[in-house]
Amino acid sequence: MEFKNLKLSKKTTFIIWVGIIAFVIAAPTILPVFRLNLLGRYLSLAIVALGVDLIWGFTGLLSLGQGIFFALGGYCAAMYLQITSSSEFPNNIPEFFGLYGVDNLPFFWEPFRSPIFTLFAIWVIPALVAGMLGFLVFRNRIKGVYFSILTQAALLVFFNFFNGQQKLINGTNGLKTDVTELFGQMVGSEQMQRMFFWTTAVLVIAAWFFSKWLVKGRFGNILIGIRDDEPRVRFTGYNPVLFKTIIFSIAGALAGISGALYTVQSGIVSPQFMTVPFSIEMVIWVAVGGRGTLLGAILGAVFINYAKSLVSEALPASWMFIQGGLFILVVTALPEGVLGWIQGEGPRNLLQRFGLKRKIETYPSLEINNEAEDLKK
């Protein structure tokens, strides 16, 4: 598979960037609060989509368990917020503990009193969990569908764990963040939400550049090598386990950041973030946008979620049909996604079909001789 880059002149690139920055700065004044909040949430989902693209689009690992890391990041942020705004509750611990008769803070909550620890925990803890899980799986050369199933099972396990532990992390109710305070202001307030929106926008752009840098050099080449022919990479002397573990942890870290941003903007983190459909949806954002194209992941996440909210507002029952159809359509008809289709041969083929563009002449024997195609299968 080859993904060509759209060739844009420096001037156009500059104009596009000015446009994006102007929009991000002006968005809070243009958009109503509700829509701004939605946009902020979808942008934070774009970060997790970037992670999915890194592991699936570039390395060929289809993880159906990114929700684990997403939720872990969210829980880290929510625990900090809950614990720092719990001074008026009995025992100086978050309110929900009182409901279950817990008087002492569970030990793993303690470090979250520190803001610096939390800032690191949001991405380090998911990365560590991802690294550990990834290492145990990759070490045994478990790959392909097996890997997907194991990540899905892991997701379910984490869901069960978080869902069942009322006394530790409020179980199925989750942790609320919108009534907590940060820098002396309510997290749910309009002002804070505006701050979060800008933070998210900046972080999306940062994550995008980071991912671009990651896949551009030698490291990226090895990732693509692993995707296309892993044994060959191994025989060349590289250790795929190491690279896969690293990229899986990076994707985990991105998911954690994304989850934290999503949590503070939606006002709650709950085990619902770890349900199976949500994690598979992440994959479909990337698939629709175009896997292997980082921009596609961002656009896919934002637009599909936007479409989802619009359709669900109008016709609640039909979204499942549309989504199901989207899954089938994108893998059968548009395997490279929308952006991949635009950057590839798609538009030219379409024009050819309507007779607007002349067919490219190929070397005649290539069309007659199908042996090469058959051998590929």
Partner 1 sequence: MLLDSLFNGIAIGSVLLVAALGLAIVFGLMGVINLAHGELMMLGAYTTYVTQLIFKLPLLKPYYNAYVIVSIFLAFIVSGVVGILLEKTVIRKLYGSPLETLLATWGVSLILQQFVRSVPLAYGTGLIISLLVGLFLPTIFSSKIKESINFKYIRFSSWVIAALSGVLTGNLISSSVSKLSRASARNVDVTAPAWMRGQVEILGTAFPKTRLMIIIITLISVIAITLFLNQSAWGMRIRAVTQNREMSDCLGISTEKVDVLTFGIGSGLAGVAGVAVSLLGSVGPNVGGNYIVGCFMVVVLGGVGNLLGTIFASFGIGIMTDLIGAGRLLSIWPDMPLPLSNTINFFATTSMARVMIFALIVIFLQFKPTGLFPQKGRMVES
Residues that bind partner 1 (CB under 8 A): 56, 60, 62, 136-137, 139-142, 144-146, 148-150, 152-154, 156-157, 160-161, 163-164, 231, 276-277, 280, 283-284, 287, 317, 320-321, 323-328, 330-332, 335, 377
Measured from the CB of residue 3, what is the shortest distance to partner 1 in angstroms?
17
Nearer to partner 1, 167 or 194 (CB): 167
Measured from the CB of residue 217, what is the shortest distance to partner 1 in angstroms?
26
Nearer to partner 1, 164 or 347 (CB): 164
For CA atoms 331, 333, 339, 345, the dihedral sign is: positive
Strands 185-186 and 175-176 turn out to be unpaired
Measured from the CB of residue 264, what is the shortest distance to partner 1 in angstroms?
28
Nearer to partner 1, 65 or 94 (CB): 65
Q: How far apart are CA 69 and CA 66, in angstroms?
A: 6
User: Within the chain, where are the H helices?
Assistant: 10-30, 33-52, 66-84, 96-99, 115-138, 145-164, 166-169, 190-216, 218-228, 230-235, 240-266, 276-289, 294-314, 318-332, 337-343, 346-353, 364-368, 371-376
Nearer to partner 1, 31 or 168 (CB): 168
Q: What is the DSSP string of 325-340?
A: HHHHHHHHT-TTHHHH
Measured from the CB of residue 325, what is the shortest distance to partner 1 in angstroms?
7
Measured from the CB of residue 337, what is the shortest distance to partner 1 in angstroms?
12
Q: With 0-12 CB in 10 A as exposed, 13-18 as middle and 19+ as buried, what is 288?
A: buried
The pair of structure tokens assigned to 339 is 């952006």
Measured from the CB of residue 359, what is the shortest distance to partner 1 in angstroms?
25
Nearer to partner 1, 81 or 226 (CB): 226
The pair of structure tokens assigned to 56 is 């699936």
Q: How far apart are CA 285 and CA 255, in angstroms?
A: 14
Nearer to partner 1, 171 or 267 (CB): 171
